[in-house]
Structure 1
Amino acid sequence: MLIVESRPRSAEIEGGSDGRNEVVLAGRLPETVQVRSLQSGTRFGTWRLVVRRRQQQGRGIRVDTIPCVAFEPGVVETVTGWSPDDMVEVVGSLRRRWWGKDGAKASGYEVEVRSARRLEHRPPEACDQHESVSAGAAPARS
């Protein structure tokens, strides 16, 4: 589930703010959350979220794979308790990240998560084994 709103929800935005960057996703966790540390010692978690697209007549199941990252310690702690195939919900902001050297810069988008919760724990045998990533889905970054 991806919620995109075309009209402002808060008085602050209506009063002249530059807009709103809020993403709400609900989907399946395909693999274990990876926790890493920056040189400063700050821990962060990274994972992908598989989100089904709206079904279109005559087409098979299509999904998008959305990269997510969390820097808030409480969120990192929460997501490390998740298991592959869990159904989860995240709320955050869309961020564009750049990496590489000057001559070979690349960029990609990810959701910087500020809150997260598990909706359902799904044992691997209960997962639909026929889901696959379709063309156009965002590739995972390492």
Structure 2
Amino acid sequence: MSKPPRHKELPSGDVMTMWGLAVRRPAEHPSGKKADGIACVTFDPALGGRVAGWRIDDVVAVEGALHQRYRPGAGGGVSTYEVEVHHAHRLQEHLAKPPGVSAAQGAEPDARSGPDEARPVPGARVAEPSLHGRPAGDPPPGRASSTPGPAPG
């Protein structure tokens, strides 16, 4: 998760929950860009309540519909994409050290990473973008799944 969840009450009285994800690109990607930002939104109050407990750098999986939005503006319009999330779950909670505790004092670090770095989740993978909006082997459209990684540091 790259942007914390926030709630917005709509004129209808419904509550919309919004948050952001960062999906890592392969290191060898020609653009040199490390990640893509993905805006997420849900109108489901139960899902919005669960997401409200998530924090920056949590590793999550979301399923939903990709929507293109066009907003008119000065000097032309702006086109954006967002995922209207129907299902989501946290794969890994970001484990930050308590305030005032140095790395040497904290829990024993994983041999592959420092104490503040996200550790891999067994069986989890980082989805790579594809031409069809889903990696090979993922469920068919309408139930496509993506497993974003933490925001690059």
- TM > 0.5: yes
Q: Alpha-carbon deviation of 1:130?
A: 9.0
RMSD across aligned positions (CA): 3.0
Q: Residue 117 of structure 2 is aligned with which of 98, 122, 127?
A: 127
Which residue matches 2:26?
54
C-alpha spacing 1:104/1:56, structure 2 compared with 1 (3 Å): closer
Is the CA contact (8 Å cut-off) linking 1:61 and 1:131 kept in structure 2? Answer: no
- Aligned equivalents of 1:78 and 1:130: distance in 2? 20
List alignment gaps of at least 5 residues for structure 1.
1-28, 133-142
Q: CA-to-partner distance for each residue in 1:64-96, whole Å, 9 max, x for gaps?
A: 111111111221111111011111110011101
- Aligned equivalents of 2:96 and 2:11: distance in 1? 35
Aligned 1:1-142 pairs, distance under 5 A = 29-56=1-28, 62-100=34-72, 104-124=76-96, 126-127=116-117, 131=152
**Corresponding residue SS for 1:34:** strand
* Higher helix proportion: 1
Q: Given residue 99 of structure 1, which amino acid in structure 2 is its aligned partner? A: R
C-alpha spacing 1:38/1:68, structure 2 compared with 1 (3 Å): same
Give TM-score scaled by structure 1 length.
Answer: 0.62
Q: Percent identity?
A: 34
Give TM-score scaled by structure 2 length.
Answer: 0.58
Is the CA contact (8 Å cut-off) linking 1:44 and 1:71 kept in structure 2? Answer: yes
Between the two proteins, the alignment pairs up a number of residues equal to 104
Q: Given residue 106 of structure 1, which amino acid in structure 2 is its aligned partner? A: V
**Corresponding residue SS for 2:54:** coil
**Corresponding residue SS for 1:109:** strand
- Aligned equivalents of 1:84 and 1:60: distance in 2? 23
Is the CA contact (8 Å cut-off) linking 2:2 and 2:151 kept in structure 1? Answer: no
